[in-house]
Amino acid sequence: MNSLFCSLRLPNGAVLPNRIAKAAMEENMAVDGQLPGQELFRLYRRWAEGGAGLLITGNVMVHAEALTGPAGVVLDEAAPLDPFAEWAKAGKAGGGTIWMQINHPGRQIGSDMPGVVWGPSAIGVDLGRHSGRFGRPVAMTAEQIEETVARFAVTAQRAEQAGFDGVEVHAAHGYLLSQFLSPLVNKRTDRWGGSLENRARMLLDVVRGVRAATSPSFAVAVKLNSADFQRGGFDTDDARQVIEMLAPLGVDLVELSGGSYESPAMSGRAADASTQAREAYFLDLAKDQVAASPLPLMLTGGITRRVTAERVLDSGVAAVGMGTALAVTPDLPERWRTGREADRQLRPVTWSDKALASAASMAQVRHQMRRMARSSRPTPGTHPAVALFAERRKQRRALRRYRTWLSKERRAA
């Protein structure tokens, strides 16, 4: 039986010092130039000193014209590497490992954002009366797909040059690669649509490109939905088959999560009753994958107590990922090591509007991260409406800055 504090050797030979990972949370804290700055360095240094064996950054964008938020970090061929090297150094301050999550949002881009809104098909995000929050996507051309595959490889290569220990390719939560996997979103009739093999083609090509652009000792992970929790969508059997497709390509770990903006299971608010807000949201689904998986699995979603984390490992999962819990108690792994638990929990969001509640939950988490980045203590009792209002005000300022920067980048190009 594996302990939380046992090391984990990955297929490429790299070793994680323990089985606890800080899962990716979207910080949206880039400074001028869409780069990491001092606040992100302080935040990651704090997590690094908290005892997790692996830190996975919030998603870093591979395309400067496609950001999940206006303060998103971009690492493309034009970005300076020094700030990223400083970020990697901060993430290793406690002796652990740091991976960069790399992502393209596809159609999940705000309607007020400049740039491009792409998807496998011209099908927008359906959030009912909130649907206007997102731009209307256009179906990607073959050339755009191939250019995007190449962008992932460039970002991974530059992450390694900056000193990161690995990358995690984000193919979950309704972002671009997840959109290609979904039969509800991907209605293409060419070689990227139809069968699961075709719908998985872009993800597999991204992984091949990333693996070819980096050294064998550099870890390559994939974040994958265990299910989308939408009728007729990507399901657990699809996930099992995709993991089998990834196994021969040099993938070192698959992180299982679930949901999208349309069904935000990752925040414990899926429409599906099997993922009601409770700890280890996706454990039942992960158990179905463990027995058949040829790759080590990591499970993320709602883990806040050591007994739950140990139950996850006992199921055969190789590592546990935590997000919100570490935004409230950054030293939780070290507490577990000494027999203590968190003494505070994030204030629950009980709003009936699912989309608005999900946005407020993310704003609450980001509020705690911003406080830690300023060397302050988290305030988990902050009212979700206060956090959401403050976040939207910051995003408006960041949007003005991003518009100016992107305009200059286009003129320079």
- Please report whether residue 2 resides in a domain: no
Task: Classify residue 199: in a domain, yes or no.
Answer: yes
Residue 3 belongs to some domain of the structure:
no
How do residues 324-374 score in pLDDT, each as one tens digit?
A: 999 999 999 999 999 999 998 999 999 998 888 988 999 999 999 999 999
Q: Are 154 and 100 in contact (CB under 8 A)?
A: no
Confidence of residue 267 (pLDDT cuts 50, 70, 90): very low
Q: Spell out a b/e string for 330-369, using b for 16 or more CB atoms within 10 Å of the CB, else e.
A: bbbbbbbeeeeebeeebbebebeebbbbbbbbbbbbbbbb
Total of domains in the chain: 1
Which token pair is 280?
């280890």
Question: For 53-105, what is each residue's pLDDT tens digit?
Answer: 999 999 999 999 999 999 999 999 999 999 999 999 999 999 999 999 999 99
- The pTM for the full model equals 0.93
Q: Is residue 363 part of a domain?
A: no
Tell me: pLDDT of 276 over 50: no
Contacts for 276 with CB less than 8 Å, ≥ 6 apart: 268, 270
Hey, which bits of 268-308 come out as E strands?
A: 297-300
Within a domain: 364: no
Structural domain that includes position 136: 8-347
In a domain, 215, yes or no: yes
Contact 210, 156 (CB under 8 A): yes
Residue 252 counted as domain residue = yes
Q: Which amino acid is at 90?
A: A
Residue 77: which CATH number?
3.20.20.70
Answer whether residue 352 is part of any domain. no
Half-sphere exposure of 278 (CA within 13 A, CB side): 10
Contact 165, 97 (CB under 8 A): yes
